[in-house]
Chains A and B, each alone.
Chain A
Amino acid sequence: MGFRSMTVRIDEMTRTAEPPRWWWWAAIIAVTIMLMLLPSYLKISQINGISKLFPLGLLAVSMGFMWGFAGMLSFGQTSFFGLGGYIYAVLSLYSGETSWPLIAAILLPMLFALLLGYFMIYGRISDIYFSVVTLVVTLILEKAIRSTSGDQYTVLGVRLNGQNGIPTVPSLQLPVEFKTELHAIFYLAAGVLVLVYVGLRLLLTTKFGRALAGIRENPRRMELLGYDVRRYRLGVFVLCSGIAALAGVLRAVWGNYVGPQMFDLNQAGQVVIWVIVGGRTTLLGPIVGAGGVQYLAAWLGTQAVGQISLILGLVLMLVVLVFSQGLLPSLGIAFAYARDHLILRRKI
């Protein structure tokens, strides 16, 4: 009972069906300005470390949005993350250009999602099989890529290199000049993340977004009301796959490298963990979860503690047991509690 009313409290705070208030826009502008200024105060290695987190945050959002707002648990957003990276790598190495390969690297994975999603969603497989199939697909892609180590495995003249991945992936050619290439990646990835975040937040206020919430709550009722639930589910799956693919391109550009580990179980599992830790019922949660967990892992790496996975596992267990909603929603609950019991009481 206690947990149920806590869930309700956080819902009360988010009000996603309504357009964002002025303070939300103010916060977005403040964060944007902060991100623009940030690189001047950081060392190159720090810029590099933070730039790496943006694509991962984007990947987490693409999974968390589907799970938290449409009730679809995809265990394999890494399929589209990896495909986006690989398609961009191959096409840009083949053509020497970067703009149309970027677009193709988003659209082709979306097309694949449309096909895969059509069979899963229109075939009305149950929720658990949706998770299983998406996981299996990403593992199949991983195995397929890993087995392409010979000379004979080339696409458009680009060697796939199996386990070793493709190095020398070209950076995006941008119309604006930046101080260094690292600055360019930082601004690009941060900008994309903010735009996607704002876009998804606004999407939640549209008929499509509000219908998704209805489908999450009670799909059968939505069908009785006349909504074609399958079309909405397929739509959100394709959209989020596009976001994951974009994240894959950014990841490829960041390290000038793509490899089969973009698809693997470790990566796929991490996305789910980020979203659980950060909290799937908010849009910001997955981003914070991805950044926080990755940062923690990197920091543990420098502390010579050894068993990083073990410690991360303990952190995950702690979060699931203590903050069952994830960190951000729990913070929201604490905030609402403080507001109601400390501040308001004093006023009365």
Chain B
Amino acid sequence: MSAPDFILETRGLERRFGGVRAVAGVDFKLERGELRCLIGPNGAGKSTFFKMLTGQMRPTSGQILFEGREIGGAQAHEIGRLGIGIKNQVPDVFDGLRVRENLWLAARFGHPAPRADVVVTAVLERLKLTSISDRIVAELAHGQRQWVEIAMVVVREPKIILLDEPSAGMSAEETSRTAELIREVNRTATIVVVEHDMVFIRQIAKKVTVFHQGRILREAEVEQIMRDPVVRDIYLGKQAAA
């Protein structure tokens, strides 16, 4: 068997705020092609961890390696150019423009014009957004706007996509559509999802990393995590156990 191909790795990653170790020496490994969920209670450090991975926050110490290259402390736009796609929690789109134009602007940087058109059309179809491609983004529902932004990440053909709470504020129906969409995207890209919603995580259902007090508490398949008494205790509470 060949050695695992780690696309993203952190070594002793740490971020301190004053005396608080929000992320306290995390060793994290992600294989190419994975769909990994990061979960944890509020203040577990997962958001801080996410911000460091995406270049929105500098680590106090430790390393972040993307395909073996150190990227800790790189600027957000540099990280984008390396092939890392980022979607923050709040939709950040071009409200006054059409869906297709939103995607085109994302695709055109780095692609010549004819190629951008092809990529945009392909992604619209793949993510089943063709029916709304002519709509103005401001007119869309919250969930649709989030999908548009995920599509804007996908048209740039990143190797890895980092998503922060993609299902936040969505209805149950929108949430399962989002899960479907993420699984589809996962066929061509490695994905990391920071998420709160256990229903959503069950729908994506792959490997889960549980953060607690700035460290990794558990790392296992989703069913195993659900059964784990320690995880239940600190995070999931009674609702998921029921």
Q: Which A residues fall within an 8 A CB radius of B? A: 4-5, 7-8, 11-12, 17, 207, 210-211, 213-214, 216-218, 220-227
Instruction: Please tell me if the beta carbons of A224 and B94 are within 8 angstroms of each other in the complex.
Output: no
Instruction: Give Cα A220 to B138, complex, Å.
Output: 17
Q: Given contacts A12-B136, A226-B81, is CB(A213)–CB(B101) below 8 Å? A: yes
Instruction: Please tell me if the beta carbons of B80 and A11 are within 8 angstroms of each other in the complex.
Output: no
Measured CB to CB, the nearest residue on chain B to A207 is: B108
Instruction: Give Cα A214 to B101, complex, Å.
Output: 9
Instruction: Please tell me if the beta carbons of B104 and A210 are within 8 angstroms of each other in the complex.
Output: yes
Residues of chain A lying within 8 A (CB to CB) of residue B81: 226
Q: Given contacts A207-B108, A214-B94, is CB(A11)–CB(B136) below 8 Å? A: yes
Measured CB to CB, the nearest residue on chain A to B76 is: A224
7 interchain pairs (CB within 8 A)? A8-B138, A11-B136, A17-B98, A17-B104, A216-B96, A223-B77, A224-B77
Instruction: Please tell me if the beta carbons of B76 and A218 are within 8 angstroms of each other in the complex.
Output: no
Task: Please name the 8 residue pairs, one residue from A and one from B, whose CB atoms are nearest each other, closest first.
Answer: A217-B94, A226-B109, A214-B105, A217-B96, A8-B136, A221-B92, A218-B94, A225-B109
CB proximity to A under 8 Å, residues B92-114: 92-98, 101, 104-106, 108-110, 113
Residues of chain A lying within 8 A (CB to CB) of residue B136: 8, 11-12
* Partner among A210, A221, A223 whose Cβ is within 8 Å of the Cβ of B101: A210
Residues of chain B lying within 8 A (CB to CB) of residue A216: 96
Instruction: Give Cα A227 to B105, complex, Å.
Output: 9
CB proximity to A under 8 Å, residues B104-131: 104-106, 108-110, 113
Residues of chain B lying within 8 A (CB to CB) of residue A4: 138
Q: Which B residues fall within an 8 A CB radius of A? A: 76-77, 80-81, 92-98, 101, 104-106, 108-110, 113, 136, 138-139
Residues of chain B lying within 8 A (CB to CB) of residue A8: 136, 138-139
Instruction: Please tell me if the beta carbons of A11 and B104 are within 8 angstroms of each other in the complex.
Output: no
Instruction: Please tell me if the beta carbons of A210 and B105 are within 8 angstroms of each other in the complex.
Output: yes
Instruction: Give Cα A224 to B98, complex, Å.
Output: 19
Instruction: Please tell me if the beta carbons of A227 and B109 are within 8 angstroms of each other in the complex.
Output: yes
Residues of chain A lying within 8 A (CB to CB) of residue B104: 17, 210
Instruction: Give Cα A333 to B103, complex, Å.
Output: 27
Instruction: Please tell me if the beta carbons of A11 and B96 are within 8 angstroms of each other in the complex.
Output: yes
Residues of chain A lying within 8 A (CB to CB) of residue B77: 223-224, 226
Residues of chain A lying within 8 A (CB to CB) of residue B108: 207, 210-211
Instruction: Give Cα A99 to B101, complex, Å.
Output: 42
Residues of chain B lying within 8 A (CB to CB) of residue A7: 96
Instruction: Please tell me if the beta carbons of B95 and A217 are within 8 angstroms of each other in the complex.
Output: yes
Question: Which of B93, B96, B109, B138 has the largest count of A CB atoms less than 10 A from its CB?
Answer: B96
Known: A8-B139, A216-B96. 14 other contacts (CB 8 A): A17-B97, A17-B98, A17-B104, A213-B97, A214-B105, A217-B95, A218-B92, A221-B93, A221-B94, A224-B92, A225-B106, A225-B109, A226-B80, A226-B81
Residues of chain B lying within 8 A (CB to CB) of residue A17: 97-98, 101, 104
* Partner among A11, A12, A225 whose Cβ is within 8 Å of the Cβ of B105: A225
Measured CB to CB, the nearest residue on chain A to B102 is: A214
Residues of chain B lying within 8 A (CB to CB) of residue A211: 105, 108
Instruction: Please tell me if the beta carbons of B110 and A226 are within 8 angstroms of each other in the complex.
Output: yes
Instruction: Give Cα A5 to B135, complex, Å.
Output: 12
Instruction: Please tell me if the beta carbons of B95 and A218 are within 8 angstroms of each other in the complex.
Output: yes
Instruction: Give Cα A267 to B11, complex, Å.
Output: 64
Instruction: Please tell me if the beta carbons of B93 and A218 are within 8 angstroms of each other in the complex.
Output: yes
Measured CB to CB, the nearest residue on chain A to B77 is: A226
Residues of chain A lying within 8 A (CB to CB) of residue B139: 5, 8
Question: Which of A5, A210, A223 has the largest count of B CB atoms less than 10 A from its CB?
Answer: A210
B140 to chain A, nearest CB (A): 11
A336 to chain B, nearest CB (A): 13
Measured CB to CB, the nearest residue on chain A to B105 is: A214
Instruction: Give Cα A207 to B96, complex, Å.
Output: 17
Question: Which of B76, B98, B110 has the largest count of A CB atoms less than 10 A from its CB?
Answer: B98
Instruction: Please tell me if the beta carbons of A225 and B80 are within 8 angstroms of each other in the complex.
Output: yes
Residues of chain B lying within 8 A (CB to CB) of residue A12: 136
Measured CB to CB, the nearest residue on chain A to B116 is: A207
Residues of chain A lying within 8 A (CB to CB) of residue B76: 224
Measured CB to CB, the nearest residue on chain A to B78 is: A226
Residues of chain B lying within 8 A (CB to CB) of residue A218: 92-95
Measured CB to CB, the nearest residue on chain B to A213 is: B97
A325 to chain B, nearest CB (A): 13
Instruction: Give Cα A279 to B80, complex, Å.
Output: 37
Measured CB to CB, the nearest residue on chain A to B109 is: A226
Residues of chain A lying within 8 A (CB to CB) of residue B106: 225
Q: Given contacts A8-B139, A224-B80, A225-B80, is CB(A214)–CB(B109) below 8 Å? A: no
A214 to chain B, nearest CB (A): 5
B93 to chain A, nearest CB (A): 7
Measured CB to CB, the nearest residue on chain B to A218 is: B94
Residues of chain B lying within 8 A (CB to CB) of residue A227: 109
Residues of chain A lying within 8 A (CB to CB) of residue B110: 226
Residues of chain B lying within 8 A (CB to CB) of residue A220: 92
Instruction: Give Cα A17 to B108, complex, Å.
Output: 13
A218 to chain B, nearest CB (A): 5
Instruction: Give Cα A218 to B106, complex, Å.
Output: 12
Residues of chain A lying within 8 A (CB to CB) of residue B101: 17, 210, 213
Measured CB to CB, the nearest residue on chain B to A4 is: B138
Residues of chain A lying within 8 A (CB to CB) of residue B97: 17, 213-214, 217
A221 to chain B, nearest CB (A): 5
Measured CB to CB, the nearest residue on chain B to A8 is: B136
